[in-house]
C-alpha cells in the first residue's frame, strides 16, 4: 500500500494526487490515515476525506481514521503492509518537522515529508547522492523501482572522496541499473561525503528533478538533538520532495 498521513484536508490536494498516481504506477493500493482526538472527530474526518477524494476523482482508496497519536505511525504502517509513506507537512517550523521525523525513525520503508507548497510529484528525474557510508547501497532498490515502474531517469552523484567507498557503491548501483537497462548517468560531485547531499539539492533544482533520495541520520548525536539532524535542514530548504531511507541496523554493523 501507498499510505498518506494527512493533517489538513483543505491543503491536501497535491499530496493526494501524488500518492494516488504513484500507487497506480507501482501497482499498489492507496490509503489515507488520519488521527482524531475523539469518536466525533473520527466521523467528521471520514466524511470530509471521502468528499476530498471524490472531488479529486480518486476512486480506489481506503481510509483509516484512528484515535492514536502520530507516535504510533510506524505500527500502523506495518499493520497496513505499507511500502511507501507520504506525510503531509503543513507547518514548516523545525519543531513540527522533527516530530514527524521522530515518528518515522523506526520505519523500514521509504517516506516523504511532503510540504503543501510542493507541486504534484514528478519522478521522471531522480537524484541519488552517494556517500562513503555502506548503507547507501539501499538507495539502489528504491531508485530501481522508479526506473522500472515510472521510467525515471536516475542521476547518481558520487561524493568526491579520497577513499573508494563511494565509488565502489556507485559501481554496484551501475551494475544493477545496467542489468535492467535503466536510464541513468553518473556525475562526480564537487563536494565530499559530508556535503554531497547539499550539492544534490542544488543539482535537483538545476536539472528540474522531481525527487532526491537521501539516507536519514544513523543516530542523533548532541548536535542533532540541539540543532536538528541533517534531514531536517534539507527539508526546510528544499523546494522539492526528499525521499528518506532509514539505515538498516539489522543489515549493517554501523561503524566505519
Are 86 and 169 part of one and the same domain? Answer: no
Are 19 and 92 part of one and the same domain? Answer: yes
Give, in degrees to the nearest 5, the angle at Cα 105 between 197 and 67.
135
- Grid-cell match 523546494, residue found: 239
C-alpha–C-alpha distance, residues 202 and 199, integer Å: 5
Residue 33 is assigned to a structural domain of this protein? yes
CB 42 within 8 A of CB 67: yes
Are 46 and 104 part of one and the same domain? Answer: yes
Are 131 and 241 part of one and the same domain? Answer: yes
pLDDT at position 219: 65
CB 68 within 8 A of CB 35: yes
Are 31 and 90 part of one and the same domain? Answer: yes
Q: Which residues are registered as beta bridge partners of 114?
A: 88
Are 179 and 213 part of one and the same domain? Answer: yes
Are 8 and 49 part of one and the same domain? Answer: yes
**Ordered alpha helix ranges (H), 120-212:** 139-149, 165-179, 196-206
Residue 58 is assigned to a structural domain of this protein? yes
pLDDT at position 208: 87
Are 239 and 131 part of one and the same domain? Answer: yes
Strands 242-245 and 183-188: unpaired
Q: Which helix (H) or strand (E) holds 66?
A: strand 62-66
pLDDT at position 172: 96
C-alpha–C-alpha distance, residues 112 and 114, integer Å: 6
C-alpha–C-alpha distance, residues 241 and 22, integer Å: 14
Cα-Cα-Cα-Cα dihedral sign, residues 7, 211, 20, 51: positive
- CATH number where 147 lies: 3.40.50.620
Residue 253 is assigned to a structural domain of this protein? no
Residue 106 is assigned to a structural domain of this protein? yes
Phi first, then psi: what are they for 204, rounded to 5°?
A: -60, -40
Are 42 and 130 part of one and the same domain? Answer: no
The residue among 60, 80, 115 that closes a domain is 115
The residue among 63, 94, 115 that closes a domain is 115
Residue 251 is assigned to a structural domain of this protein? no
C-alpha–C-alpha distance, residues 94 and 236, integer Å: 8
Are 111 and 139 part of one and the same domain? Answer: no
pLDDT at position 97: 93
The DSSP annotation for 194-248 comes to TTHHHHHHHHHHHTT-SEEEEEPPSS--HHHHHH--HHHHHHHH-SS-EEEE---
- Grid-cell match 559530508, residue found: 194
Residue 93 is assigned to a structural domain of this protein? yes
The residue among 115, 147, 162 that closes a domain is 115
Residue-level pLDDT, tens digit, the chain, 256 residues = 999 999 999 999 999 999 999 999 999 999 999 998 888 899 999 999 999 999 999 999 999 998 877 878 888 888 889 999 999 999 999 999 999 999 998 899 999 999 999 999 999 999 999 999 999 999 999 999 999 999 999 999 999 999 999 999 999 999 999 999 999 999 999 999 999 999 999 999 888 899 999 999 876 565 555 556 888 999 998 999 999 999 865 544 433 3
Are 108 and 130 part of one and the same domain? Answer: no
Predicted TM-score (pTM) above 0.85: yes
Domain of 217?
A: 125-245
Residue 79 is assigned to a structural domain of this protein? yes
Give, in degrees to the nearest 5, the angle at Cα 117 between 151 and 231.
75
Domain count, the chain: 2
Amino acid at each position: 500500500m501507498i499510505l498518506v498521513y494527512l493533517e489538513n484536508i483543505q491543503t491536501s490536494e497535491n499530496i493526494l494526487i501524488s500518492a494516488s498516481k504513484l500507487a497506480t504506477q507501482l501497482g499498489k493500493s492507496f490509503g489515507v490515515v488520519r488521527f482524531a482526538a475523539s469518536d466525533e472527530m473520527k466521523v467528521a474526518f471520514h466524511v470530509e476525506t471521502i468528499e476530498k477524494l471524490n472531488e479529486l476523482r480518486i476512486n480506489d482508496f481506503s481510509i483509516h481514521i484512528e484515535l492514536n497519536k502520530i507516535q504510533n505511525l510506524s505500527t500502523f504502517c506495518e499493520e497496513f503492509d505499507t511500502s511507501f509513506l507520504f506525510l503531509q507537512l503543513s507547518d514548516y517550523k523545525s519543531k513540527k518537522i522533527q516530530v514527524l521525523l521522530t515518528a518515522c525513525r523506526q520505519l523500514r520503508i521509504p517516506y516523504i515529508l511532503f510540504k503543501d507548497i510542493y507541486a504534484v510529484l514528478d519522478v521522471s528525474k531522480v537524484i541519488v547522492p552517494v556517500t562513503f557510508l555502506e548503507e547507501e547501497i539501499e538507495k539502489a532498490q528504491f531508485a530501481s523501482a522508479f526506473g522500472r515502474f515510472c521510467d525515471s531517469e536516475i542521476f547518481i552523484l558520487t561524493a568526491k572522496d579520497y577513499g573508494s567507498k563511494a565509488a565502489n557503491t556507485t559501481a554496484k548501483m551501475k551494475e544493477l541499473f545496467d542489468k535492467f537497462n535503466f536510464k541513468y548517468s553518473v556525475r562526480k560531485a564537487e563536494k565530499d561525503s559530508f556535503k554531497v547531499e547539499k550539492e544534490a539539492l542544488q543539482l535537483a533544482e538545476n536539472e528540474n528533478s522531481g525527487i532526491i533520495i537521501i539516507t536519514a541520520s544513523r543516530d542523533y548525536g548532541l548536535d542533532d538533538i540541539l540543532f536538528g539532524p541533517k534531514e531536517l535542514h534539507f527539508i526546510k530548504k528544499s523546494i522539492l520532495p526528499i525521499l528518506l531511507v532509514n539505515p538498516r541496523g539489522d543489515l549493517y554493523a554501523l561503524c566505519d
